[in-house]
Amino acid sequence: MVRVSTRDEILRVAAEQFAHFGYKGTSLQDIAAGVGCSKATLLYHFASKDTILAELVEAAARELGELVARLEPLDAAAAQEAAIDGFVDLVLRYRQEAALIYGGMPQFLQEPAFADLLPHFDALCAAFAARSTDPDECVAAKVLLSGIVTVVIDEDLEPTDLRATLVGVARRALIHPHDKD
């Protein structure tokens, strides 16, 4: 049997509890009790609840930054297409992390550990809107981004089936017929 480190077990239990009770509804004591360790042991491995959350979403946040960097040099139409594909792939790959981030988005973006995410979300939203400054296009992009996350979190379809559907819906919603020519 493979022994799981206390640190890994803390992360596993925290992810489960954050998903079930929400970030705000989960205390360090709750996590420690779920792991079967003391709060002091938990604090030995992680300085705070924010630190645990930051580690849980680190890979997803890094890949979001990489996606945004890939979009920067593209023209508006190419950036939109790449943003749709890239975001759907990212959210499907990091379903649990997306649920954690999305569930506590307003609070997380105010935390110093997540300060880098806001510009990434803004850049992704701009790419979804094909860099339009039209308020209707920006709202549509935000609705689609939120909708994609919501569906991925709640839907039990296989990722390949769900990917095709989500990409198709996003393209139909965002890419106007006159833009395809």
Does any domain span residue 79? yes
- 23-28, Cβ contacts within 8 angstroms, sequence gap of 24 or more: 23/49, 23/53, 23/100, 23/103, 23/104, 23/107, 23/108, 24/104, 24/107
pLDDT, one tens digit for every residue, the chain (181 residues): 556 799 999 999 998 898 788 888 899 999 999 999 999 999 999 999 989 988 988 899 899 999 999 999 999 999 999 999 999 999 999 988 887 777 666 666 666 767 778 889 899 999 999 999 999 999 999 999 989 988 888 777 777 889 999 999 999 998 865 554 4
Q: What is the DSSP letter of 23?
A: S
CATH number for the domain spanning 36: value is: 1.10.10.60
* Dist. CA 109–CA 107, nearest whole Å: 6
What is the separation of C-alpha 70 from the centre of its chain, rounded to a whole number of angstroms?
A: 17
Domain that holds residue 110: 57-179
pLDDT of the residue at 181: 46
pLDDT of the residue at 1: 56
pLDDT of the residue at 54: 86
Locus of tokens 């022994």: 3
- Locate 7 and state its tokens: 């640190």
Residue 98 and residue 12 in one domain: no
